[in-house]
Amino acid sequence: MMLITAVVVPSRVGVVRHALGLFGVRGLSMSRVFGAADGAPVEVYRAARRTASLAPRVRLDVLSPNDDMRDLVRVISRAATGSELELWVTRVDHLVRIRTGEVGLDAI
Considering its fold, how many domains does the chain have in total?
1
CATH number for 58: 3.30.70.120
Q: pLDDT (tens digit, 9 = 90+) per residue, 51-107?
A: 667 788 999 999 988 888 999 999 999 999 877 889 999 999 998 989 999 998 788
Compute the distance between CA of residue 13 and CA of residue 86 in angstroms, rounded to an integer: 13
Task: Tell me how many degrees the CA angle 7-63-16 measures, rounded to the nearest 5.
Answer: 40
* Dihedral (Cα; 89, 104, 75, 15), 10-degree rounding: -100
Model pTM score:
0.79
Domain that holds residue 54: 2-107
What's the pLDDT tens digit per position in 25-40?
Answer: 988 999 999 887 766 6
Let me know how long the chain is: 108
